[in-house]
Structure 1
Amino acid sequence: MSDLRKIVSVAQEVAEAIKAAFQMDVEIIDAEVKRIAATGSAKKKIGAAMAYGTVTRHVLQNTEPIVIHQPGQEDFCLACQGYGKCTYTGGIIVPILYKNRTIGTINVVAYDQQRMQVLQQNQTGLIEFLNRMAELMTSKIAEQELYEEQIRVNSALLTLINTISNGVLSIDQEGRIRQANSLAEQMLRGSEQAAAMEGMLVTSVFPDFPLAETLNAKEFKSYELAAKVNGKGYRYIADIKPVTADDAVTGAVVSIVDYENMKQLAFDFATPNRQITFQEIICETPHMQHIKTIASRIAQSNSTVLITGESGTGKEMFARAIHEESPRSKHPFIAINCGAIPEALIESELFGYEKGAFTGAHAKGKPGKFELANKGTIFLDEIGTMPLYLQVKLLRVLQTKEIDKVGGTEAIPIDVRVIAATNNNLEQMVAEGTFRQDLYYRLHVIPIQIPPLRERKMDIVPLAQHFIRRYSVLLERNIQALSEEARLAMEAYHWPGNIRELENSIEYAINLSHPDETILRLSQLPSAIKNNLQDHTIVEHLETPDHPFPLEQSILSKQEYEKRQITHLLAEWGTSTTDKKRIARQLGISLPTLYRKIRHYQIENHRLSK
């Protein structure tokens, strides 16, 4: 397309203006010698090429204006194919120059002597006027090209913005939305403002948008915004960046991501290798195989699960395996130990809090574990330690599928499967009034009881071999198997810390082994296993043929055994806080749980001795 064709309507207006001023017909010709605009009889020839155009071509080539005083008698007339056929009495042709090239001409012709006389008398002024008209048209071409370039840039920019995985809004200095990419429109589609979002105040879409601070040039990162879409509340994480020109804020760009999508992305990034399947739960005991089958079967359900068993029996592994085999496996699995969080903080940890909810609260608020687990699974370990006042709130969550943040005014709907676990006797706690009966039945929809390791003798050696392989690699040792004496001692041991204690014991033993050893020996095991019980020392007998294994053990209740084990470890390792943390890890329980057991069994420091 020729340059002049971009401004056809302007060219026609210029032609009409020139005719009105001088009462002469006008043709505006492009570089291809085609009429772009015309007046008089030539008007019907717009779009067609000139029949001859000899003088016009001469001006296009030489970029100088020409005045025709006597048609047919000028030097350049002799070469014209239309020589002798001219019907006009004279004329002026001036070039239209744009970007150092001739893009067309303005042709003014007189058809009588009166008009020719006017032309000759005003030749210099007329040429100057036509040059100004040519400049006017080229300025309009420049404007049109700039406009077209802006359209191209805006189109490319919008295409680029639409490929971004965030919603993007631009607002002006009054806080009104001027543009939104397709993802932002999709996020807010169905909202009351969706139909006419452009021109709306941003605070009409996001009531809590920090407009005053933004227009004061304050930038925000990861700012939480809320909007109503189809009457339902949604939350977004926004980056807000003011736009400035000449040190003045002229607007802002707002980048938003859906809160749920952001949470899922964080989950995918933070837990890429946390999946645990039922195949990874090692067991050969028929009863444990049956429990795995039941757990696998109920994984497809959304019903609440209550897993009971002593500390260290693998309750969280079962919870993770249930989640991994469920339709929720692509969404978060959030585990929280209710007994490890101070009572004053557990409510905000579970349900989150709004900004300014209490002294010391984060300025932006904080999501709770239930919120983070939305569409996935939450695992509430040591549920028996939950305070009574919080049990009421948990019961309401299970009934309504909604949570209330600390300091919040609106309930937030959630879709979470709850798996709870405890090593306490909840039925007894219900009878004692320390655990709510209604919550117990809400949790006890699908009960799974995992037996302690001492009731799963067939699983001890396979588990030990599994941990030997793991820690031999981690600790750069070459242990391949257990000695017969070590195996017999491990099978005879009571394992109060269950699988966790077994794992710790293997790690301890491999640390004591030499790099060139291939067999894990009895002497490398922890003293609690070698000595077995305080009043039965089996180490020396196991390693001599005069005292074949197994030796008869005293038959103790679980409570008496646990008391003796804690007493022994306190006497063996010490009673400082550091020592007690070490003992708690060895037994596979939390430090608060250890303190409760010490008080429960009335184990006093002055009675302890090595």
Structure 2
Amino acid sequence: MLQENNNHPLDIKSDLHIVRAWESFTDCGEVNSSLTPRRVIHNGWLKSRELGIRPDIQRAKTVISENEIEEKIRTENLGRAGVPVLEELSDCLEDTQHVVVLADSAGRIFYSVGHRQIQDKLENINFRPGGAWSEQSVGPNGVGTPLSIGRPEIVMGHEHYCQGWHPWVCYGAPILDPTTQKIIGAVDITGPVKNVNGEAMALALSVAKSVQSGVSILQFQRREILRELGKEKIKNWPSDGVMILDENGSIIEYNTKSIKQLNLDPSAFLNNSISQLIPSMSESVQKSFNHKRQMELNIQTENQSVKVHIKPVVNGDQCLGTALIMTDPNRASTTKKYTNPCSIRPQSRYTFENIKGKSEKINNTIRIAKAAAYDPSENNVLLYGETGTGKELIAHSIHSESARKDGPFIAVNCAALPRDLIESELFGYVAGAFTGANRHGLKGKFELAHNGTLFLDEINSMSMDLQAKLLRVLDSMEINRVGSVEPVLVNVRVIAAASETIHSAVENNLFRLDLFHRLNVLEIPIPKLSERENDIIELANEFIQNECRSTGRENLKLSSEVIELMKNYHWPGNIRELNNVCVRWVLSVSGNTVNCADVPERLSKTNVINHQPIGVDNLRMISDELIKQTLIKTGNNVSKAARILGIDRTTIYRRRRVW
């Protein structure tokens, strides 16, 4: 492991040489031939100037969120292989003044371990998870330069173009995809420039090779799983052409119908890339894989026009590849007898404009919800909060702002449906599926929500056996109507809602962990009304005005005493309870002002809101429950939670993986 070495490999003369070269370049725009630095550094400086990067930058930008970081760690090969390798170094690096980071191919750091005090100092320049460290963003450095030139490199002190990085020395090595040999990321070891270490570069190379080996193992496993899932899809679609592509677009499984429908030569088929065989499909296949989205397009062959469904093949949280399904038009027409004759397409009723309030909590919720609405990958969303907090309003708003806004919005309350009917409600049924069934069959909610959004409220009330079926549908975007073995393709974005107890339901094995992660790609906490003290009166006035308008009576005012009571009441029924109280006042108060005498007894017996902050004195006393509570209070912001608790971010990531 790294040993401290205070002997600088450059002598004082050469060290001063690079300082003068940097000063000359940044002041005058050129370097005297006698001062010219190494070619890789000089080229990096020239590129930085061309890109308009300021040499006096002190801090890199943040470009990826905590949720995106967690997604990389949990689902991408680089994260799944790299994090365990870095974790093995964690304890050893605590004894040195170095930090190791893992970055993706765009130079975005998403994991770091090492000396705690050095990590804290590097946070000042945003050299931490979330930071952008490509050479195009911040000039030469130990992450961006190896990614740019495709080989290991050391960047020390004033060799960095940006002044903020001058106190540091970086040893970086690129990580290659074992299959394609393309650069997929980088490992960087960084420490103070005064402690340049001759062993650090060798360690960086070793870590990069270890990560590559881990990626190779994961790729093999993924390919074998994809092959098995592909065979299953081919068996499930006997009447159609089916082709299975890996993450690089190479064909690994197919049936004979797909060759005939696409008019391809069988001899040049297997292990060839779809981009070589049918270039017009390449972009759509890549989008489907990257965004986990089903897509459709028409391909014109010599003989016919073929409609191709492109579906991501998902296993748990991971997209392994894509399936191309060329549906037989004759089979497609026979399924029409099962469709619901109703042509109504329910639309969303609300937008973000309908969400009232200015508190920090609700603004944070709206900010995350808008990010979910504009998410190009259309990931699944999980809303959680107490009953009556407005989860359906948030779901409607996300749909109304999304690319699916012109499609249907279908809401299902999972708790309100009888257990023996919920499967047919969600997935539909064919004629004769059960006694009392519609003689034509009926579409389920998934099919009704095709090309739109399905809102599953109170998802935590769903039985375990139905959870397993829902997970399969989310993975494949194929449903089987009750009474039928023929799969039906659907294109649906799912927004689920649950009470805060869903986390304990997962811990107690009452809700499937794999389904929780499948739904919980974007997690949005909905605050209780008692946490929105400054919004209570605004909401009350809004409800009173709306009810007065609808009943035709003169507007009511709230007395100052009533306002004080309302602010101090804990509102266990949240917004729904507040609305009910306001409606009751409009219907029952005879005067123009609501006074204390008009207030329900429960409001007069106030339960003052508790605003006590969470505190912790000792790391060993921090429980998983405390970490979870803090994550909820910070809107799932790992960095904020770590600062509040006085622990390292990696500790929280490690605990969350155990959960």
Pick the TM interval, shorter chain.
0.3 to 0.5
Which entry has the higher C-alpha Rg, 1 or 2? 1
- After TM superposition, the score normalised by the length of structure 2 is 0.41
- Flag the structure with more relative contact order, 1 or 2, with Cα contacts below 8 A and sequence separation at least 6: 2
TM-score scaled by length of structure 1:
0.45
